[in-house]
Amino acid sequence: MLSFDDPMPSGAERVLVAGVTGSGKTTFAARLAEEWDLRHVEIDALFHGPDWTPRPEFLDDVRAFAAEERWVTEWQYTSKGTDEILAPRADLLIWLDYPWSLVRGRLVRRTMKRRILRTRLWNGNVEPAIWTRGAWTGENDILRWQASTRYKWDERMPGIAERFPHLTIVRLRHPREAVAWLTSPRIDAT
């Protein structure tokens, strides 16, 4: 597993970005796509249909873009079957393993902003208004989800490295490391 200051081989053209909810996977993936001239596929937009219902064509859409030669996406919906589609095709896995206080604060701010401003997300979905009864509790509460999956990647990463040995894994432990890694030149492994 590489860290932010390890030399990065060039040639990675299919990239997964993993991390707990609120770590900034989508923002990082979009920036990486811009820097490396990759197609960014926002996986949330493929998954969520109207009224937050899962789109039936989700896995077909994931298969379609995974078959392409150059892309970056967030590694999510692993329980829905994305592991066996994305991991075999990816060259590089970026793990945003940031401190809990940082990701928790980010998610609280993002959720508050979206709920107060009634931000339209994928397929017209809007998070519940801040004043809506049950908006901060229940099965679909994003803060509860984040807390329950806090250690997911810590637990999964050794198995991922074993099952997919072709993946180069870079673990970034703070946004400063992510910026340093993104702005460092890639080198050729030869």
Question: Does an H or E element contain 168, and which?
Answer: strand 168-172
Determine, yes or no, domain membership for 113.
no
Range(s) of the domain holding residue 51: 14-100+154-183
pLDDT tens, residue by residue, 148-160: 899 999 999 999 9
pLDDT band for position 17 (50/70/90)? Answer: very high
* CATH code where residue 86 lies: 3.40.50.300
Determine, yes or no, domain membership for 36.
yes
Number of domains in the chain: 1
* Distance of alpha carbon 11 from alpha carbon 19, whole angstroms: 23
**Residue 190: what pLDDT?**
37
Strand partners, 187: 9
DSSP H helices, the chain, are: 25-36, 43-47, 58-66, 83-86, 100-117, 142-148, 152-163, 175-183
Determine, yes or no, domain membership for 129.
no
Determine, yes or no, domain membership for 22.
yes
Record the pTM.
0.91
pLDDT tens, residue by residue, 32-89: 999 999 999 999 999 999 998 999 999 999 999 999 999 999 999 988 889 999 999 9
Measure CA of the first residue to CA of the last residue in the chain; give whole Å: 19
Determine, yes or no, domain membership for 85.
yes
Whether 30 contacts 40, CB under 8 Å: yes
Determine, yes or no, domain membership for 118.
no
Determine, yes or no, domain membership for 114.
no
Q: Is the confidence at residue 185, as pLDDT, over 80? A: no
The number of C-alpha atoms within 13 Å of 12 and in the hemisphere containing its C-beta is 24
Determine, yes or no, domain membership for 3.
no
